[in-house]
Amino acid sequence: MVAALPAIVADGSDVLVVRWLAPVVEMAGSAGDVIGFDRGFAGFGRAVRELRRRGYDDGVLLTPAFSAAWLLRCGGVGHLRGTATDGRSVLLRERVSPDVLRPHHRINAYKLLLDQDAGGEPRLHRLSPSPERRERWRAAVGATRPVIGIFPGSNAPARRWPTERFAAVARALAARGIRIVVMGGAGEAGLTALVAGAADTALDVGGRTDLADLAALLSLCDLVVTNDTGPMHLAGAVGTPTVSLWGPSDPNEVRQVGASDARVTGAVLPCKPCRRNHCGRRGRGTVLADAHGECMRLIEVEAVLAAVESEFGRRPARA
């Protein structure tokens, strides 16, 4: 969603988006209406009725799923443009081959889908979190500086660095007097508690932030250590530098570009890059005895701390 914002804002059309992501589009200040919908059968029906009430003729699908195309067609949108993926070609009037998008960073790929100029380096749309939310989270974080955020979760297990290594990073940074804030989505409170528990003064906000709160909190951090996941892009969108951990994914396609980013990639393996959310490797690995999740497990704590030192040490604290 964050990567799609430059194309969405430039286009100015109405945006249909799952409701929990709607605050991201609203923070971007797009000219079009933001129409939130809920997942599930009832939410699908309400979205169909709203689309029919508004009477759209044309739609562009930024997601590759069949369900997105089916929702818009059921909502009366006759002319659909999108990637010919997930068996939905029959529903599209304009089919875009995924091979056309693959060489591009995701930001520019979304521009291509909206028939915009995708030349040049990808640029992220800057988000401005609510001042009220920023002040509320500033009080929760306290006046201690510097502040480093840690986001140890991911919806894709294949892109998740081992929890105990995030804990080791939190412990080492807290020992230097750095204020650690551990963040996570709904359902990740157990994960964030394990990481925050390794650092005596860490603030654990796992499961306590919606996206608008998360944006405000990320904007208060001097640096964020994160897996390749959505909050990595959200941090860049609010101007916060990141140290990002890359196992299977291709940074050329999905790296964050809104702020400086020190990427820790681990070893080169024959299975990389990989777009799978779950690692399917079994047996002996290329380097390790166990192949499962090898790309992430080959990223060492010392390499991440060195990247933090390099990125964080040369930066003034944020206001």
Same domain (yes/no): 168, 267 = yes
User: pLDDT tens digits, residue range 183-234?
Assistant: 998 889 999 999 999 998 899 999 999 999 999 999 999 999 999 999 999 9
Number of folded domains in the chain?
2
Predicted local distance difference test score (pLDDT) of residue 314: 63
Q: Which of 20-34, 137-151, 160-174, 248-262 has the highest mean pLDDT?
A: 160-174
Residue 254 lies in a domain: yes
Q: How confident is the model at residue 120 (pLDDT cuts 50, 70, 90)?
A: confident
Give CA–CA dist 30/13, Å, rounded: 8
User: ω before 270 within 30° of 0 (cis)?
Assistant: no
Predicted local distance difference test score (pLDDT) of residue 172: 96
Same domain (yes/no): 98, 147 = no
Strand partners, 95: 82
Q: Can you list the alpha helix ranges (DSSP code H) found in 119-276?
A: 131-141, 163-174, 189-196, 211-220, 230-237, 251-254
Domain assignment of residue 195, given as a range:
132-313
> Which CATH number belongs to the domain containing residue 10 in this structure?
3.40.50
Residue 318 lies in a domain: no
pTM: 0.86
